[in-house]
Chain A
Amino acid sequence: MAKQLIGYQEGYGFLYRLSGASKLLFFILVSVACMTTYDTRFLIVVSLGSLVLFRLAKIKWQQVSFVMTLVVVFAVLNIIMVYLFAPHYGDKIYGSSSLLLKGIGPYDVTSQELFYLFNLILKYFCTVPLALLFLMTTNPSQFASSLNQLGLSYKIAYAVSLTLRYIPDVQEEFYTIRRAQEARGIELSKKSNLVARIKGNLQIVTPLIFSSLERIDTVATAMELRRFGKNKRRTWYSKQSLEKSDIVLIILALASLFVSLYLIHLNHGRFYNPWQ
């Protein structure tokens, strides 16, 4: 079976009591703020804040270590690729060049390039803990109602819920189909040639698609029989009203976005330049 990568864990504390809507809005706004700016001071503050919140939620390391490993691997690859393709991008941005290490050809290491890469790393520290926090402290049943609370049509919000709900089913279907086809003699590993493997994958993807599409009539009919879409609005079983702490969280998120934009104005660009 597909391993459960990550998911909601029942817990106690104010992070768990916050509404999914305010947490989602907070996560989106802070992510946008951190992704648009390269002001190192802002990124450091948000990184530390993220780690503190992470600690407050009392999430254990083993709960997230697998996902964290994948994220770290991807982040490292990203940093390496940026350096390999643009080893002097940092120099251009900050308008200065302080040689630290003489490299082969264009691959000198400069303070400016390292500073730029440091900013890229900080972005991961800003958003990954917040994403994990949101995932692990919010009941998935609240995702759809949260989107509806934020103004999205309840039909589209419910489509999000449906998509989430069917992920494990379709995953299960994929593994079932693959095992059935392998039992019939399809070889998908390196032992067979290219054409055979492409054909084999086609014979897994095609039934996967059609078995998924087959659900459509059944699910749609069942929903309509239960009068889905009949009215302009609906109630939610797992909706949670906004409390004072939720309002504070949203204000904090908006403040971080405004600070980020103001710093862009202050720095005359997205970069904070200590060599100016």
Chain B
Amino acid sequence: MFHTKSLIQMAMMATLLVVLGFIPALPLGFIPVPIVLQNLGVMMAGVILGGRKGSLSILLFFLVGLVIPVFSGLRSTIPVLTGPTAGYVIAWLFVPLLISYGVKLVNKKNFIAIFLIVWLAGVLFVDVAGAVWLASYTNIPLDKSLLQNLVFIPGDTIKAIIAAVVAVKYKDSFFLTEK
């Protein structure tokens, strides 16, 4: 079912996700929440591995999270999936699929188009999904939850820019998505 090389690609991407989660959050003065790099890894998974393998690498990350605390804040998979932030991490599973689908529709050299796709899939989709789950889980109004999630938009947008820069700058290197 899984070719050995694809397996290594997914394992390496899952490892990157784990390590990015270990890196301390970067406080930027004017942004209310510090930037965590882990969801940058999620966008990278879509950009580098494509849809299917990218999403599978995130699933692998969840599997690893069963046995060690790999989520930001040293949390493991089951508490996260049954807690208030489950919406975000479940949305992560679909980010590579959405990015892969979107990238097929545009010119890979067009930075603005690539950025919009990464932003829509990796930032807007994730934050809205997270807000919806957070609202239902804690019983706060949906509009309030969506407003609260605005604090994440600036940091996540910076990450989307980084992912889009990598995607455009190294587009010829991503032969990985073809295999």
Range class of the B interface residue count: 35 or more
Q: A85-B138, A135-B67 are in contact. Are A163 and B11 (CB under 8 A)?
A: yes
Chain A residues with a Cβ under 8 A of chain B = 2, 5, 24, 27-28, 31-32, 35-36, 67, 70-71, 74, 78, 82, 85-86, 89, 92, 123, 127, 131, 134-135, 143, 147, 153, 155-156, 158-160, 162-164, 166-167, 169-171, 174, 190, 194, 197-198, 201-202, 205-206, 208-210, 212-213, 215-217, 219-220, 223-224, 228-229
Instruction: Determine the distance from Cα of A110 to Cα of B158 in the docked complex, in whole angstroms.
Output: 42
Besides A74-B73, A131-B69, A155-B7, 17 new A-B residue pairs in contact (Cβ under 8 A), listed by A number? A27-B66, A74-B75, A85-B138, A85-B140, A135-B67, A156-B2, A160-B11, A160-B63, A163-B60, A174-B19, A197-B26, A202-B162, A209-B48, A212-B16, A215-B12, A216-B176, A229-B2
Q: Which 6 residue pairs spanning A and B have beta carbons closest together?
A: A35-B82, A162-B11, A220-B5, A31-B78, A163-B14, A166-B15
Shortest B156–chain A CB gap in Å is 13
**Could you tell me if B64 and A160 are in contact, using CB atoms closer than 8 angstroms?**
yes
Q: A28-B66, A143-B67, A171-B19 are in contact. Are A201 and B162 (CB under 8 A)?
A: yes
**Could you tell me if A216 and B5 are in contact, using CB atoms closer than 8 angstroms?**
yes
Chain B residues numbered 56-73 whose CB sits less than 8 Å from any CB in chain A: 60-61, 63-64, 66-69, 73
Q: A74-B73, A82-B138 are in contact. Are A216 and B67 (CB under 8 A)?
A: no
Q: In this assembly, does B128 line the interface, its C-beta being within 8 Å of a C-beta of chain A?
A: no
Q: In this assembly, does B105 line the interface, its C-beta being within 8 Å of a C-beta of chain A?
A: no
11 CB < 8 A contacts A-B: A85-B148, A86-B139, A159-B7, A162-B8, A162-B12, A164-B68, A201-B162, A213-B48, A216-B9, A220-B4, A220-B8
Instruction: Determine the distance from Cα of A174 to Cα of B22 in the docked complex, in whole angstroms.
Output: 11
Taking a contact as CB atoms closer than 8 A, the residue among A32, A71, A201 that contacts B78 in the complex is A32
Instruction: Determine the distance from Cα of A74 to Cα of B14 in the docked complex, in whole angstroms.
Output: 24
Q: A92-B139, A194-B28 are in contact. Are A216 and B82 (CB under 8 A)?
A: no
Taking a contact as CB atoms closer than 8 A, the residue among B4, B82, B166 that contacts A206 in the complex is B166
**Could you tell me if A28 and B12 are in contact, using CB atoms closer than 8 angstroms?**
no
Q: A153-B1, A171-B22 are in contact. Are A131 and B76 (CB under 8 A)?
A: yes
Instruction: Determine the distance from Cα of A159 to Cα of B140 in the docked complex, in whole angstroms.
Output: 40
Q: A35-B78, A86-B138 are in contact. Are A208 and B16 (CB under 8 A)?
A: yes
**Could you tell me if B82 and A163 are in contact, using CB atoms closer than 8 angstroms?**
no
**Could you tell me if A155 and B26 are in contact, using CB atoms closer than 8 angstroms?**
no
Which A residues lie within 8 Å of B165 (CB)? Answer: 202
Shortest A194–chain B CB gap in Å is 6
Instruction: Determine the distance from Cα of A264 to Cα of B148 in the docked complex, in whole angstroms.
Output: 32
Instruction: Determine the distance from Cα of A162 to Cα of B162 in the docked complex, in whole angstroms.
Output: 27
Chain B residues with a Cβ under 8 A of chain A = 1-5, 7-16, 18-19, 22-23, 26, 28-29, 37, 40, 44, 48, 60-61, 63-64, 66-69, 73-76, 78-79, 81-84, 138-140, 144, 148, 158, 161-162, 165-166, 170, 173, 176
Instruction: Determine the distance from Cα of A135 to Cα of B10 in the docked complex, in whole angstroms.
Output: 23
Which A residues lie within 8 Å of B63 (CB)? Answer: 147, 156, 160
Instruction: Determine the distance from Cα of A121 to Cα of B174 in the docked complex, in whole angstroms.
Output: 46
Instruction: Determine the distance from Cα of A5 to Cα of B70 in the docked complex, in whole angstroms.
Output: 12
Q: A127-B79, A216-B8 are in contact. Are A163 and B15 (CB under 8 A)?
A: yes
Taking a contact as CB atoms closer than 8 A, the residue among B7, B44, B73, B138 that contacts A209 in the complex is B44
**Could you tell me if B68 and A156 are in contact, using CB atoms closer than 8 angstroms?**
no
Instruction: Determine the distance from Cα of A32 to Cα of B77 in the docked complex, in whole angstroms.
Output: 11
Shortest B167–chain A CB gap in Å is 11
**Could you tell me if A198 and B162 are in contact, using CB atoms closer than 8 angstroms?**
yes
Taking a contact as CB atoms closer than 8 A, the residue among B15, B16, B74 that contacts A5 in the complex is B74
**Could you tell me if B82 and A224 are in contact, using CB atoms closer than 8 angstroms?**
no
Instruction: Determine the distance from Cα of A124 to Cα of B139 in the docked complex, in whole angstroms.
Output: 21
**Could you tell me if A213 and B28 are in contact, using CB atoms closer than 8 angstroms?**
no
**Could you tell me if B66 and A70 are in contact, using CB atoms closer than 8 angstroms?**
no
**Could you tell me if A167 and B4 are in contact, using CB atoms closer than 8 angstroms?**
no
**Could you tell me if A223 and B4 are in contact, using CB atoms closer than 8 angstroms?**
yes
Taking a contact as CB atoms closer than 8 A, the residue among B1, B9, B19, B139 that contacts A167 in the complex is B19
Q: A31-B79, A74-B73, A85-B140 are in contact. Are A219 and B60 (CB under 8 A)?
A: no
